[in-house]
């Protein structure tokens, strides 16, 4: 099992931890999963009780796990493969869209995370629209290039602003929400390092691909896109996992609120009992 796959059979229940330290339950977006790769549909699906399992499950839910990585690669691979064989944009685009729809449907059938199913189909559909409108095979990849560049800037700028994007994504999955900003400086540092890592990795990828978009042959460009799909994402997810393993455990603010509500109910019952006496 990779470092960010969701364990298939860990359902310990109760508060969990990440790294060493006191309890900090996590609950699991996205891109991203069936056992071993795809987290379920909402926060309650994240297994609790084991430090590494909690982190792995949240990472799988946020980034899609191995299945999510494969699903982001296969439509582009089909597009460039069909285009390499036939050199026609329309059948290549339709083949890629058909594969994306099939993958999305398989997630629905296996009750995978809906956001990953729809986001994958939506992204491919936009690329198909671009390519078919312009007749340029390279435009199939243009929306993804622009999205990657925008995401890189978002990771870096959000961190400079003191709100690292990785923390905003993962905080709710660990049931800590934004408590890491003011109550857990160690985790804020980890989220900052992870966000910088994502930003720099995506910027480097953009620096490689944008010149090729303008100068490379469409077929060669497509194969480079496919080759650079998983490795940068895998590197970013792995670094994030490492940073979080080294960070203090999350503060389970959901459990705190539930405990406070329970305590308030007990106080209310005590007051009512005293009034009756």
Distance of CA 144 to CAs 8, 154, 218, Å?
Answer: 31, 15, 15
- Reported as a pLDDT band with limits 50, 70 and 90, residue 73 is confident
225 contacts 148 by C-beta, under 8 angstroms: no
Q: Report DSSP state, residue 111.
A: T
Which residue, among 6, 274, 14, 223, has the nearest Cα to 116 in the 3D structure?
6
CA angle (242, 244, 248) in 5-degree steps:
135
Mean pLDDT across the chain, nearest whole number? 79
d(CA 138, CA 100): 18
> Over 60: is that where the pLDDT of 262 sits?
yes
Q: Give the helix/strand (H/E) hosting 52.
A: helix 51-63
Question: Is the per-residue pLDDT at 268 higher than 50?
Answer: yes
Cβ-proximal residues to 69 (8 Å cutoff; 6+ apart), any chain: 229, 230, 233, 234
46 class by beta-carbon count within 10 Å (0-12 exposed, 13-18 middle, 19+ buried):
buried
Amino acid 156: pLDDT: 97
Between 90 and 31, name the one with better pLDDT. 90
* pTM greater than the 0.75 cutoff: no
**Of how many residues is the chain composed?**
277
Q: Percent of the chain at pLDDT above 90?
A: 48
For the segment 18-54, what is each residue's pLDDT rounded down to a tens digit? 333 333 333 333 333 333 333 333 444 444 445 567 7
pLDDT tens-digit readout, 211-251 = 999 999 999 999 999 999 989 999 999 999 999 988 888 88
pLDDT interval class at 114 (50, 70, 90): low
Angle at 105 between CA 102 and CA 110, to 5 degrees: 125
Under the banding of pLDDT at 50, 70 and 90, the label for residue 274 is confident
Q: What three-state secondary structure class fits 217?
A: coil
Residue 144 has pLDDT above 90, yes or no: yes
């Amino acid at each position: 099992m990779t470092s960010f796959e969701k364990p298939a059979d860990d359902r310990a229940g109760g508060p969990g931890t990440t790294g060493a330290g006191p309890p900090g339950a996590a609950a699991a977006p996205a891109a991203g999963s069936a056992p071993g790769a795809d987290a379920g549909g909402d926060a309650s699906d994240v297994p609790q009780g084991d430090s590494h399992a909690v982190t792995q499950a949240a990472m799988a839910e946020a980034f899609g796990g191995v299945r999510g990585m494969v699903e982001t690669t296969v439509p582009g691979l089909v597009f460039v493969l069909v285009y390499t064989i036939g050199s026609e944009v329309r059948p290549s685009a339709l083949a890629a869209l058909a594969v994306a729809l099939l993958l999305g449907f398989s997630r629905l059938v296996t009750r995978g995370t809906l956001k990953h199913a729809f986001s994958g189909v939506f992204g491919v559909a936009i690329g198909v629209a671009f390519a078919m409108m312009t007749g340029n095979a390279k435009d199939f990849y243009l929306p993804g290039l622009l999205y990657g560049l925008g995401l890189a800037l978002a990771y870096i700028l959000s961190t400079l602003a003191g709100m690292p994007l990785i923390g905003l994504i993962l905080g709710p999955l660990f049931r800590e929400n934004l408590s890491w900003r003011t109550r857990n400086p160690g985790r804020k540092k980890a989220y900052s390092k992870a966000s910088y890592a994502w930003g720099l990795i995506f910027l480097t990828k953009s620096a490689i691909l944008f010149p090729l978009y303008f100068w490379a042959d469409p077929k060669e460009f497509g194969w480079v896109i496919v080759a650079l799909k998983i490795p940068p994402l895998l590197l970013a997810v792995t670094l994030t996992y490492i940073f979080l393993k080294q960070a203090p455990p999350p503060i389970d603010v959901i459990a705190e609120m539930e405990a406070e509500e329970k305590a308030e109910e007990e106080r209310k019952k005590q007051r009512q009992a005293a009034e009756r006496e």
